[in-house]
Structure formats: structure tokens, C-alpha cells
């Protein structure tokens, strides 16, 4: 269905309303959503103070990382009035196939893998494509490397992913290997962790959070009923201007792929080679003079990446 276009008049009115929200009213303030749970939103003001806000019903989902305009409605009662335009919105599919929002204005997705359970490279490529489509920089983390018999990486992450520009960080939370390198990639970024259950996301999260926060998390969890099902999403400030958004209930989310966006554009190396295909609309499946197929034959494109590309091109 085509999206209804806004008339010039409507657009002007919305622009004016937005302007009024940001500048004309002393009671309107801007802040960062750092927690959302049970219909209440905690907004951090520029001075670091916190406001617990109710939400106007017609705003749609508000998530951690959102910048919002809010106002004081009564003494120490606040209400969110508007969400500022987002750079991006990380979304997932829930168990019923519904699209759910996870976090907004993310700059980095940490894709966590482990020596055990063994990495599923098809799932990794789905995460990578999803991140590319949503304009979020992915970083690959391989945990539990102390379980490897030799320093060689049996999953070939380095040889497949480093040449196409993805950072691969190898760590062992257990042995505290590589933790400094991991921490430094979070500097000045707003990061979300993803990966299947058991790879060590909770362990990594507690390593990354400054000690003060762990205490807060323990207290707030102890107060909640059914603590394993209703844990709150939270944005944590890290040293060196980084933020970590932890979404404990949905860390192992299914990556959401946008059927309207090109699959090949999200495979960096395929996108690059495709400039040399004979046909501008080449799908790189069996076309003549396809530069991508040639590059796979020459070993310039990893076979696993190309196979996963084909699988994602025609899912099911």
C-alpha cells in the first residue's frame, strides 16, 4: 500500500508544531530515554537529572536511545510529548512474527559468537545484512577462545570477515583475555549486544558495565516479580562517552530483514564487485558476465558468503 503523502499544509502545521515544542515553550525540555518499562519512561535531562514520564498515547513505541521532548504536568510529574527524528531504529521479529522495536539511535551492533555453541555463519550473515540495512556498524566478537586447542581460528572469521572490513575481536571473559580491546571499541558509540543464547552476552555485559551500575541492576531486579521475564531495557553510560543499551529480555533476537531493500547492497563485497557485472540489474545468480560469480570462482568472495546471499535472496 502506498503511503499517503502529506499535503503541503499538513507538513507546514507539523513543522510549526515541532518548532513550538523545541523552542517556544519554557516548560518543554529535551532528554534521552534511558529506560522503558511497564508504560513508564525514564528520561535523562542534559544536566544528568532524571524524570519519570508518562507518555501521550499516540506516539507509538518509545525505546531506549530515543531523544524526546517532555514537559512537567504537575509538581514532579512529567509527560513525553514528542519523539525527535531518529537516525535509526533497531527492530526484531517476536515469536509471532510481529515487528518489535528494540532501541533507537544506535551506532554499533556487537554480534556475539562463541567457540561453544559453535558459530552459525548463516545467522551471522543475517545479522550483518540487518545491521547494514539499518545503517548500524557491526562488530564481530568471538568469546570463549580459551576453549580452542590452537591459536588458529577454526571458523575462519578472520579470513572471511576481516578482508571485507568487519572488525573481529577474540575474547575470553573467563580468562579475561581481550577485554581491553573489547572495551575500547565501545568508546563514543551507542552499542547493542546480540547473539544466540549461551555465547556469553550476560557475562560480557557485566564485564562492560561500570561497578556502580551492577549494584543498580541487582537492586531493581530484586524488586521485580518474575525477574526472568520482565527485565527492563536500560541505557548505561560507559567511560569515554560510550553508551551500552542492554535489552535483557531480547538479547538473542532474530535479525529483521527489510524485503524492500536490496540484499546485495548489504553484502559489502558483492555490492562492490557488482559494479562490473554486464547487466545493471544483475542478481548474480546465473547471468552471463557476472563479476560476482567470477569473484566467487576466483576465491575473492568467500563461498559461504555467496551461498548465504543466495539463500537470503530467495528465502524459504
Q: Give the footprint of Zn ion on this chain (CB under 5 A).
A: 277, 282, 284, 290, 292
Looking up cell 545467522, which residue turns up?
123
Using CB under 6 A as the binding rule, the residues of this chain from 157 to 196 that contact ligand GDP are 172-174
92 makes contact, choosing from Zn ion, ligand GDP, none, with CB < 5 to 8 Å by partner type, with none
Q: How far is the CB of 252 from ligand GDP (least distance, A)?
A: 7
C-alpha cell at 49: 537529572
Q: Closest CB to Zn ion among 110 and 282? A: 282
Q: Which of 254, 263, 300 is nearest to 285 (CA)?
A: 263
Sheet holding 254-255, edge to edge: 99-104, 89-93, 254-255
DSSP designation for 177: B
Residue 292 in contact with residue 265, Cβ under 8 Å? no
Number of residues that bind ligand GDP (CB under 6 A): 14
In Å, how far from its chain's centre is CA 310?
Answer: 24
What would the 3-class secondary structure string for 83-134 be?
ECCCCCEEEEECCCCCEEEEEECCCEEEEEEECCCCCCHHHHHHHHHHHHHC
Gyration radius (Cα) of the chain, Å: 22
Cβ(83)–Cβ(113) under 8 Å?
A: no
Nearest distance in Å: CB 175, ligand GDP: 7
Count of C-beta atoms within a 10 Å radius of residue 69: 19
Give me the least distance between CB of 257 and ligand GDP, in Å please: 22
**Is position 304 an interface residue for ligand GDP (rule: CB under 6 A)?**
no
Rounded to a whole number of angstroms, the minimum distance from the CB of residue 246 to ligand GDP is 11
| Residue placing its CB nearer to Zn ion in the complex, 68 or 282 | 282
| Closest CB to ligand GDP among residues 147, 310 | 147
With respect to ligand GDP, which residue has the nearer C-beta, 58 or 197? 197
Of 195 and 266, which CB lies nearer to ligand GDP in the complex structure? 195
Closer to ligand GDP by CB, 104 or 199: give it.
199
Q: Which is nearer to Zn ion, 32 or 292 (CB)?
A: 292
Judged by CB under 6 A, which of 197, 212, 229, 281 binds ligand GDP? 197
Lay out the site mask for ligand GDP across 118-157 (x = CB under 6 A, - = otherwise): -------------------------xx-xx----------
d(CA 200, CA 153): 18
Q: Which of 199, 217, 245, 301 binds ligand GDP (CB under 6 A)?
A: 199
CA distance 134 to 300: 26
Binding partner selected for residue 173 from Zn ion, ligand GDP, none, CB under the kind-specific 5 to 8 Å limit: ligand GDP
Taking the chain, what is the end-to-end CA distance rounded to the nearest angstrom?
Answer: 24
Binding mask 201-220 for ligand GDP (x = CB under 6 A): xxx-----------------
Q: Which entry of Zn ion, ligand GDP, none binds 282, CB below 5 to 8 A by partner kind?
A: Zn ion
The DSSP symbol for 260 reads: T
200 and 114 Cβ atoms separated by less than 8 Å:
yes
- The span from the CA of 184 to the CA of 52, in Å, is 32
Nearer to ligand GDP, 169 or 312 (CB): 169
Which residues contact ligand GDP by CB under 6 A? 143-144, 146-147, 172-174, 197-203
Amino acid at each position: 500500500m502506498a503511503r499517503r503523502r502529506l499535503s503541503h499544509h499538513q507538513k507546514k502545521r507539523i513543522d510549526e508544531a515541532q518548532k513550538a515544542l523545541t523552542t517556544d515553550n519554557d516548560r518543554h525540555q529535551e532528554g534521552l530515554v534511558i529506560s522503558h518499562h511497564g508504560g513508564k519512561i525514564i528520561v535523562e535531562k542534559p544536566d544528568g537529572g532524571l524524570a519519570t514520564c508518562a507518555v501521550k498515547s499516540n506516539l507509538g513505541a518509545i525505546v531506549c536511545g530515543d531523544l524526546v521532548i517532555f514537559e512537567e504536568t504537575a509538581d514532579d510529574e512529567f509527560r513525553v510529548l514528542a519523539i525527535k527524528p531518529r537516525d535509526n531504529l533497531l527492530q526484531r521479529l517476536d515469536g509471532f512474527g510481529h515487528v518489535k522495536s528494540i532501541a533507537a539511535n544506535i551506532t554499533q551492533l556487537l554480534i556475539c559468537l562463541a567457540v561453544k555453541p559453535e558459530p552459525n555463519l548463516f545467522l551471522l550473515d543475517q545479522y550483518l545484512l540487518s545491521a547494514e540495512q539499518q545503517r548500524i556498524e557491526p562488530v564481530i566478537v568471538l568469546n570463549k577462545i580459551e576453549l580452542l586447542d590452537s591459536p588458529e581460528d577454526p571458523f575462519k572469521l578472520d579470513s572471511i570477515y576481516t578482508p571485507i572490513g568487519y572488525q573481529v575481536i577474540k575474547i575470553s571473559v573467563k580468562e579475561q583475555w581481550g577485554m581491553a580491546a573489547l572495551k575500547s571499541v565501545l568508546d563514543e558509540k551507542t552499542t547493542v549486544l546480540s547473539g544466540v543464547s549461551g555465547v556469553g552476552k550476560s557475562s560480557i555485559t557485566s564485564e562492560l558495565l561500570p561497578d556502580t551500575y551492577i549494584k543498580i541492576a541487582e537492586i531493581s531486579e530484586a524488586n521485580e516479580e518474575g525477574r526472568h521475564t520482565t527485565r527492563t531495557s536500560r541505557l548505561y553510560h560507559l567511560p569515554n562517552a560510550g553508551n551500552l543499551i542492554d535489552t535483557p529480555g531480547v538479547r538473542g533476537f532474530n535479525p529483521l530483514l527489510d524485503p524492500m531493500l536490496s540484499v546485495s547492497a548489504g553484502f559489502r563485497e558483492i555490492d562492490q564487485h557488482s559494479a562490473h557485472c554486464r547487466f545493471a540489474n544483475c542478481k548474480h545468480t546465473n547471468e552471463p558476465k557476472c563479476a560476482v560469480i567470477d569473484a566467487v570462482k576466483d576465491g575473492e568472495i568467500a563461498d559461504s558468503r555467496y551461498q548465504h546471499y543466495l539463500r537470503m535472496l530467495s528465502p524459504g
